[in-house]
Amino acid sequence: MMDLGGLQTILGDRLVTSEADRTQHGRNETYYPTTPPDAVAYPETTEEVSAILAHCHAQGIPVTACGAASSLEGQHLAIRGGISLDMSRMARVLSVNAEDLTCEVQPGLTRKRLNEELRDTGLFFPVDPGADASIGGMAATRASGTTAVRYGTMRDNVLALEAVMADGTVIRTGSRARKSSTGYDLTHLLIGSEGTLGIITALTLRLSGIPEAVTAATCRFPSVAAAVDCVILTIQSGLPVARIELLDEVMVRGFNLYSEAGLPELPHLFLEFHGTPAGVAEQAETFAALAADFGAEGIATATKAEDRTKLWTMRHDAHYASAALGPGKRICATDVCVPISRLAGAVVWAQEECVRLDLTSTIVGHVGDGNFHCGICVDPDDMGEMARVEDFTHRLAEKALALGGTVSGEHGIGIGKQGFMDAEHGPAVAYMRAVKTAFDPRGILNPGKLLPEAQ
């Protein structure tokens, strides 16, 4: 039996069992059914997290961390019951070391709030998933976003972690130094572990200087293949684009509906260039020349911060703009990543399959990384449609593997993609499982996620 009494002693009224709170923590932004935890815990310090885990470890109570609950493969859902460990009250910036381009933050801080707090320093944290996710959740899913092509993903922008391990032990991994060769890389082992190996309670982040000059650009192409071929050549030519995003014609239709974008309903690229004024101008010119060869039209640039914010806000609303295409439906957001040379083939294949299966789906992607998403409108109660969606997402994942890629570039595994772990990783899965067993022998941390169930 779950001993909530012990947790109450630790947390007082910050252990909540109300229906409303439980339901809220059982929700998700995609099509998984609502799955409330038995209780929600709101720790405020690392010591509390440690005490909670020590108790749950002793009692065998499942603990599923929750950041902003924006993950798209069901990661934050407490599918085995137990507590949802809501990190939102651990959301402070602990320190900013502007001279070192680093800061230390608590995990519940969201990326937008962090960048607001950094504003006066001339620095920013570049990783930007569409949602205003928590930094801890972003680390736990190894998130990325529109700027990963230039600034990297969470893998590249976290220098050090504080984490509470399953039995309550508090560890620190990494340091504020930019590199190190001292021992096993536990920082990267925790990044992407989806709360199954430890609870992140502080993160040292690498910051970047706000570029002197920024220019955004948009243009349209006669076909998705032309747009993607243009991206491939842009990347191959070494142009240091800061953002290069594909939106297929269906996605553009969604933006026209949701954001009144008024764009011609053709495939588009949205770009951004960062650098010195001269450097940015040179990049924009090089790109324009290159894009013309692929039939790009209507190249428009934006330098005013206001116009750029509008553009990227629209882009970040892609999930909701996809939903606008299927009123009353949910969005299944599936995500794959392939070597850049295989991108055109993969995107065109996905478009054709959706047509063949009579699915309404947008395609949008951080294409500079070879990464794209399909936002498929689906009615979870329509069994026929659900079956076609599953058929599609399965075959898209298999396609990505066949092309030398991965079944998820950034959304992760959760409960949505466990079935592909063996296909992608083969015998390596046993070593992942060995890590899990060594770190969390009682299996209390986010049970039922990431690793496929052992046969």
Contacting positions for ligand FAD (CB under 6 A): 29, 64-72, 75-76, 87, 107, 129-131, 133-134, 136-138, 140-141, 143-145, 194-195, 199-200, 319, 410-411, 446
By beta-carbon distance, which residue lies closest to ligand FAD?
137
In the three-class reduction of DSSP (H, G, I as helix; E, B as strand; rest coil), residue 369 is classed as helix
Among 128, 245, 353, 424, contact with a copy of itself (rule: CB under 8 A):
424
User: Can you say whether the dihedral through the CA atoms of 114, 120, 121, 123 is positive or negative?
Assistant: positive
> End-to-end distance of the chain based on CA atoms, in angstroms?
27
Asked if 191 is part of the footprint of a copy of itself (rule: CB under 8 A), the reply reads yes
Scanning residues 101 to 160, which ones bind a copy of itself (CB under 8 A)?
A: 101-102, 141-144, 148, 152-153, 155-156
Q: Which does 300 bind (CB under 5 to 8 A by kind): ligand FAD, a copy of itself, none?
A: none
Among 1, 12, 120, 181, contact with a copy of itself (rule: CB under 8 A):
181
Among 169, 223, 256, 303, contact with a copy of itself (rule: CB under 8 A):
169
Instruction: Return the number of the residue (65 or 230) whose C-beta is nearest ligand FAD.
Output: 65
Q: Which residues of 151-267 form beta strands (DSSP E)?
A: 158-165, 170-174, 198-206, 208-209, 213-220, 243-247
Asked if 340 is part of the footprint of a copy of itself (rule: CB under 8 A), the reply reads yes
CB of 197 to a copy of itself, least distance (A): 7
Q: Where are the alpha helices (DSSP H) in 101-147?
A: 111-118, 135-141
Q: Which does 75 bind (CB under 5 to 8 A by kind): ligand FAD, a copy of itself, none?
A: ligand FAD
CA 419 to chain centre: 20
Asked if 201 is part of the footprint of a copy of itself (rule: CB under 8 A), the reply reads no
Label residue 268 left, alpha or beta by phi (over 0 means left) and psi (-120 to 50 means alpha). beta
Bridge partners, residue 247, by sequence = 268, 364
Interhelix angle for 383-402 vs 343-356, to 10°?
A: 160
Alpha carbon of 308 to those of 121, 217, 270, 300, 303: distances in Å?
A: 21, 9, 10, 12, 7
Scanning residues 257 to 296, which ones bind a copy of itself (CB under 8 A)?
A: 276, 278-279, 282
Asked if 411 is part of the footprint of a copy of itself (rule: CB under 8 A), the reply reads yes
Instruction: Return the number of the residue (45 or 437) whose C-beta is nearest a copy of itself.
Output: 437
CB of 451 to a copy of itself, least distance (A): 8
Token duo for residue 19:
């229906």
CB of 130 to ligand FAD, least distance (A): 3
Residue 216 and residue 308 in contact, taking contact as beta carbons nearer than 8 Å? yes
Angle among Cα 174, 176, 177 to the nearest 5 degrees reads 90
Name the segment binding a copy of itself (CB under 8 A); options: 4-12, 229-237, 304-312, 355-363: 229-237
Among 252, 338, 350, 378, contact with a copy of itself (rule: CB under 8 A):
338
